[in-house]
Structure 1
Amino acid sequence: MQFGYSEVCLAHDPGARHPEAPDRLRAIRERLKRKHGVEYVEGDPVGIDVMDGVHERDYLESVREFCADGGGNWDPDTTAVEETWDAVRHSAGLACWAAEAALDGADGRKTPFSIGRPPGHHAVYDDAMGFCFANNVAVAAQYALETRDVDRVAIVDWDVHHGNGTQDIFYDREDVFFASIHEEGLYPGTGQVEETGEGDGEGTTMNVPMPAGTDDRDYLDAVEGPVSSALEAYDPDLLLVSAGFDAHRHDPISRIRLSTEAYALLTDRLRGVADRTDAALAFVLEGGYSLDVLADSVALVHETFDGREPIEPDGDRSQEAVELFERVADAHDLELELD
């Protein structure tokens, strides 16, 4: 894979005890040293004139000024230092690079993966939250719609936390389909099945809130079932993955029980959707706070594009998952063949 990366993103340092630390990127880079076929690309940073496609301009100006004044606690979870603004610009720029590279034909072993930070999927139209200042994947989606021959973008968010910011930004739009698979009831508490969009965007938001304790089989079936069916019906030109790795069983801040192998399987299934819909495919890093787990999981995504066959999970789909998928299908008028 090609990994979008910038040293500037390391300068955003929210503090020694903060889980969203610069060591996240260092761990990924160290792990990828053991893999062949890894390339790094430093995309250009973007400015307010690009980010205000999905964020209120006054809000972005406030973040810039906040950082210029030395930063501090924006909220109890979201902290900035003086260097954070440049990291925000580079992180959003790397996501735009990933979208552009995919649309330019980078696929297979060249599939792009932006590993910028701070992450983005909690940042709403006019506010920062959940470690996020600019919604990187949303910026990239809007950038593609405005600058490329793209009519429809789909975003799949497999981070354990609901991508409330991405949902907020595109909730009333028909040109972006957003699907989130996340732990039910976890921060920020949004992402119910009934949240499906409004106005022109009715039906273009899909939420699959998985119960605590969900394992590989049910998480994978969420993608193979309602998410894939909806994506194929939507037929996007570009598929962006908000790739968080905090649904892993060893991540410290969630209760979903995925294995590292699950990320190879999820990657394989979404690659299949992109192939069937002839969509360009790119990945954008979100969460993941156990350094070894994060690094191993990103490496396994890379290996999946480098020819490694994922190992299929054992076990049957739970009845609880069947009932959830039926609710999701009903909310979106989908016909699913569920056991």
Structure 2
Amino acid sequence: MRFGHRAACLDHDPGPRHPESPNRVRAIRQALADADSAEYVAAEPATREQVLAVHDEDYVAEFQRFCANGGGSWDADTTAVERTWEAALASAGLAIWSARRAVAGDDGTRTPFSLGRPPGHHAPADDARGFCFLNNVAIAAQSVLDAGLADRVAIVDWDIHHGNGTQDIFYDRADVYYASIHERDSYPPSGYIHETGTGDGEGATLNIAFPAGTTHSAYLAALDEVVGPALERFDPDVVLVSAGFDGHEYDPISQQRISTDGYTLLAERVRSIATDCGAGLGFVLEGGYDLEMLAESVRAVDAFFERERPAEDSAAVLDGAREVIDRARKQVERV
């Protein structure tokens, strides 16, 4: 794979006790050091114009001033320092790079993966939330639409937390399909099955909220039975993955049971979906807070794209998860 990375993303440091640490990217890069094929691209930061295509001008100005004044606690979970503004622009720019290379047809060993931070999918148009300041994947999606590089974009969010910000930004839009598979009753209080979009965007939002303890077998079934068919009907030009790895069975802030091999299988499934849609595929890093498991999972995804076959999955889908999948399939069929 080709990985987007800028050193500026390491300058956002919310402190040694904060789970969203610059050590996340350092650990990933260390794990990839043994992969001779890993290539890094220092894409340009997002411009203010690209950010304002998604975010409210008053909020962006407030965020920039907040950092210029030294930062601090924006809310109980979200902390900035003086350099967070530059890190956020760098992170958004890397996501734009991933989307544009995906649209251009980079695939196989050149599949783009943005390693930006801070993450973005919790940030709505007018606020910072859940460790996130600028919504990287939303800025990337809007960028390729505004540039005329794509007419329709699909975002598949497998982070363990619902991407409330991404959903909010595109909730009334017909040109972006947002599909989230996440843990039920976790942060934030959104991502319910009845949230399907509004106005022109009715039917372009899909939420699959699994109970705690769900394994990757259920995620694979959801992609095969619900997300894949929905995206084939939507017919996107590009599929962007909000790739959080906090659903790992050893992650400290989730209760899901996805294995490292499970993430390889998820990557295989989304590649198949994108191929079936005739769409490009790009990845944008979101969460993942056990450093070793995060690094191993990203390395495993990279190994798959370097033509290593993922392990076969033969585990059964648990009854509670099966009920969620069946409800989601019926919901999609009704819309």
Structure-2 separation of matches of 1:124 and 1:88 = 14
- The CA deviation at 1:41 is 0.1
User: What aligned pairs does 1:221-236 form with structure 2 within 5 A after superposition?
Assistant: 221-236=221-236
- The CA deviation at 1:329 is 1.7
Return 5+ residue gaps in structure 1 as ranges: none
What percentage of residue pairs aligned between the two structures are identical? 54
Aligned residues: 335
- The CA deviation at 1:20 is 0.2
Cα contact 2:103–2:149 (8 A) shared by 1: no
- The CA deviation at 1:320 is 2.0
**Which residue in the other structure is 1:133 paired with?**
133
Structure-1 separation of matches of 2:218 and 2:294 = 21
**Which residue in the other structure is 2:87 paired with?**
87
Structure-1 separation of matches of 2:146 and 2:127 = 23
- The CA deviation at 1:331 is 1.7
Alignment TM-score, normalising by the size of structure 2: 0.98
**Which residue in the other structure is 2:174 paired with?**
174
- The CA deviation at 1:49 is 1.1
Structure-2 separation of matches of 1:278 and 1:114 = 21
**Which residue in the other structure is 1:143 paired with?**
143
**Which residue in the other structure is 1:220 paired with?**
220
Code of the residue aligned with 1:283 in structure 2: it is F
Runs of 4+ deviating beyond 3 Å: none
User: What aligned pairs does 1:1-339 form with structure 2 within 5 A after superposition?
Assistant: 1-333=1-333
Structure-2 separation of matches of 1:101 and 1:334 = 35
The Cα offsets for residues 261-308 of structure 1, whole Å up to 9 and x where unpaired, read as 011000001100111111010000000000000000000110110011
**RMSD between aligned alpha carbons?**
1.0
Code of the residue aligned with 1:105 in structure 2: it is G
Code of the residue aligned with 1:201 in structure 2: it is G
Structure-2 separation of matches of 1:49 and 1:65 = 17
Structure-2 separation of matches of 1:138 and 1:145 = 11
Structure-2 separation of matches of 1:262 and 1:61 = 41
Code of the residue aligned with 2:173 in structure 1: it is R
Cα contact 1:230–1:334 (8 A) shared by 2: no
Code of the residue aligned with 1:64 in structure 2: it is Q
The Cα offsets for residues 33-57 of structure 1, whole Å up to 9 and x where unpaired, read as 0112110000101122111111101
Secondary structure of residue in 2 paired with 1:138 = helix
Secondary structure of residue in 2 paired with 1:333 = helix
Code of the residue aligned with 2:6 in structure 1: it is S
Structure-1 separation of matches of 2:322 and 2:229 = 15
The Cα offsets for residues 229-288 of structure 1, whole Å up to 9 and x where unpaired, read as 111111100100000000001000000011000110000011001111110100000000
- The CA deviation at 1:334 is 6.3
Structure-2 separation of matches of 1:231 and 1:133 = 28
Return 5+ residue gaps in structure 2 as ranges: none
- The CA deviation at 1:325 is 1.6
Cα contact 2:268–2:304 (8 A) shared by 1: yes
Secondary structure of residue in 1 paired with 2:66 = helix
Structure-2 separation of matches of 1:315 and 1:284 = 28
Alignment TM-score, normalising by the size of structure 1: 0.97
- The CA deviation at 1:330 is 2.0
Cα contact 1:108–1:305 (8 A) shared by 2: yes
Cα contact 1:48–1:57 (8 A) shared by 2: no
- The CA deviation at 1:103 is 1.4
Structure-1 separation of matches of 2:329 and 2:115 = 33
The Cα offsets for residues 46-86 of structure 1, whole Å up to 9 and x where unpaired, read as 12211111110110110000000000000010000000000
Cα contact 2:214–2:318 (8 A) shared by 1: no
- The CA deviation at 1:123 is 0.2
